[in-house]
């Protein structure tokens, strides 16, 4: 008998919600067979089995929240199918540092597997000698991984942990909740230069390792760098007036006044709440304007069939992405991020536009990379594909990262204007509301009425709302950017002239 535990699913993924259990007691499973469908903060992942045999007990069910290292099911390896025999255990030297090795699975989604096998004798003695492990921090930061305890095998060969971390990944051993599993060699490593022990420290402190600036050779990240970054985050939260998450007052007993129904927050909603709470601490300014898109709408309808033949939809959102991508080249301060710790502004030389998509799980923001290098047809096709993947839970985490500016279009639902919240660490976002026909005074109208020599004519007006981080962008630059977008929508030739 062996327990299959939830493996590591990525650098910043520690838990998820079970959507579907794909096996039941008595089933025969093979290695790499999907056994669990899990919803993380932003994506749905199929978790493959790292063991083969007959399922004896399933310890989770749909709706459960599970954490990395938690036991998912028990398998009798004696009943393993002949075509998928269990791999023999590989021994690890006692001097090896116990840690985990993430592995990239799929094309763009960060997932990993923990290959379960009987522990080496040295690792068993380490478990017996270390029943609990905590991560000390001399600055007062101290974290203990809930539901999973990792302990380091004693160093009997005089090798420093930093050196042990650099050993081949095939020798790395993970000890999680009493289950030891050697990891497969990672075919693709994360770009952040850090040892596995440093990455573990970052995960336990809730720090994104990719945001830490390393002080070692070639920017290598040390444990002290992770601690310093965590302290900066805490200091920044304190300067903003309190905790990163909103400190809610105790709620009254609502059942006193009638029947209530309590339901747990889903993973996407939890992540959205946390992210927007942090984003709301940014000093927002929102400016509104109207764009006359009467001529643009005629062009959109004229060329819609051509874009549909290519596999996309020529929508106002796709056109707005094209316009914004051109505007960001003219106004680079909107394609930047603030690094307050280093007292620097990071200007990005690439243009990745995120587009908010409404799904049954909540709001997701796929990212169109290098939007400034793609024509309108290419943008329309890619936007249609990403939106479909988001709504069918096929979107990957990598497809929602790296954005430099966001666009949110609520016009398909309604409304006249709104205040979009900046998708930090970006510094600006463009909101689009529903276009409607309005009377507009035109002095150059063909039919002149009245002594003023003009007339009111029906024009299709599109409401735009630009929110920006006032720490990075001044009000004058904000309205200049918005006016440039308005004029580009009203006179599409400007894109060819200036974009």
From 283, 203, 194, 278, select the one nearest 234 (Cα to Cα): 278
Count of other CB atoms within 10 angstroms of residue 480: 15
Q: What are phi and psi of 225, to 5 degrees?
A: -65, -40
From 449, 463, 457, select the one nearest 417 (Cα to Cα): 463
Contact predicate 334/403, CB 8 Å: no
**Could you give the CA distance from residue 233 to residue 280 in angstroms, rounded to a whole number?**
16
Count of other CB atoms within 10 angstroms of residue 471: 12
The contacts of residue 142 (CB under 8 Å, 6+ apart) are: 134, 135, 136
Strand, helix or coil at 247?
coil
Angle between helices 376-391 and 294-309 (to 10 degrees): 70
**Could you give the CA distance from residue 341 to residue 358 in angstroms, rounded to a whole number?**
34
Q: What are phi and psi of 238, to 5 degrees?
A: -65, -40
**Could you give the CA distance from residue 112 to residue 47 in angstroms, rounded to a whole number?**
9
Q: What is the pairing mode between strands 284-292 and 336-339? A: unpaired
Burial grade of 202 (CB within 10 A; 0-12, 13-18, 19 or more): buried
Marked catalytic residue, from 275, 284, 288, 470: 470
Based on the residue annotation, tell me whether 275 is a catalytic residue of this protein: no
From 99, 97, 98, 95, select the one nearest 158 (Cα to Cα): 95
**Could you give the CA distance from residue 326 to residue 41 in angstroms, rounded to a whole number?**
31
**Could you give the CA distance from residue 388 to residue 278 in angstroms, rounded to a whole number?**
28
Contact predicate 245/385, CB 8 Å: no
| Farthest CA pair distance, the chain | 99
Catalytic residue positions?
Answer: 470
């Amino acid at each position: 008998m062996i327990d299959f535990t939830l493996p590591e699913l990525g650098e910043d993924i520690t838990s998820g919600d079970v959507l579907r259990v794909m096996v039941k007691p008595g089933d025969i499973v093979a290695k790499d067979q999907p056994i669990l469908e899990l919803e993380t903060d932003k994506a749905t992942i199929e978790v493959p089995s790292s063991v083969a045999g007959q399922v004896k007990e399933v310890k989770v069910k749909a709706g459960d929240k599970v954490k990395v290292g938690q036991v998912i099911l028990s398998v009798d390896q004696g009943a393993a199918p002949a075509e998928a025999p269990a791999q023999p255990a590989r021994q690890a030297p006692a001097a090896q540092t116990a840690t985990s090795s993430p592995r990239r699975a799929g094309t763009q989604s960060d997932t990993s597997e923990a290959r379960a096998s009987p522990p080496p004798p040295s690792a068993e003695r380490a478990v017996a000698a270390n029943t609990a492990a905590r991560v000390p921090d001399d600055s007062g930061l101290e974290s203990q991984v809930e539901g999973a305890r990792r302990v380091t095998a004693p160093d009997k060969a005089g090798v420093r942990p930093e050196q042990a971390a650099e050993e081949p990944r095939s020798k790395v051993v993970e000890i999680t909740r009493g289950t030891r599993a050697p990891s497969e060699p990672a075919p693709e490593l994360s770009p952040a230069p850090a040892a596995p022990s440093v990455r573990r420290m970052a995960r336990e402190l809730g720090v994104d390792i990719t945001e830490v600036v390393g002080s070692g050779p070639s920017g290598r990240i040390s444990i002290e760098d992770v601690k310093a970054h965590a302290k900066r985050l805490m200091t920044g939260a304190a300067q903003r007036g309190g905790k990163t998450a909103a400190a809610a007052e105790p709620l009254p007993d609502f059942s006193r006044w009638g029947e209530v129904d309590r339901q747990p927050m889903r993973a996407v909603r939890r992540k959205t709440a946390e992210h927007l709470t942090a984003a709301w601490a940014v000093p927002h300014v929102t400016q509104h304007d109207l764009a006359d898109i009467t001529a643009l709408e005629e062009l959109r309808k004229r060329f819609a069939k051509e874009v549909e033949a290519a596999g996309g939809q020529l929508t106002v959102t796709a056109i707005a992405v094209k316009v914004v991508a051109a505007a960001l080249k003219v106004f680079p301060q909107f394609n930047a991020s603030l690094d307050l710790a280093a007292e620097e502004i990071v200007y990005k030389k690439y243009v990745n536009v995120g587009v908010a998509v409404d799904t049954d799980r909540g709001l997701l923001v796929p990212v169109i990379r290098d939007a400034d290098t793609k024509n309108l047809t290419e943008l329309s096709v890619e936007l249609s594909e990403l939106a479909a993947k988001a709504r069918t839970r096929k979107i990957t985490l990598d497809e929602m990262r790296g954005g430099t500016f966001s666009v949110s279009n609520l016009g398909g639902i309604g409304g006249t204007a709104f205040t979009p919240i900046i998708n930090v660490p970006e510094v600006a976002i463009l909101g689009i509301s529903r276009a409607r026909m309005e009377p507009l005074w035109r002095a150059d109208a063909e039919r002149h009425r009245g002594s003023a020599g003009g007339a009111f004519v029906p024009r299709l007006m599109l409401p735009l709302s630009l929110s920006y981080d006032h720490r990075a962008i001044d009000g004058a630059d904000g309205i200049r950017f918005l006016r440039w977008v308005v004029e580009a929508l009203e006179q599409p030739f400007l894109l060819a002239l200036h974009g």
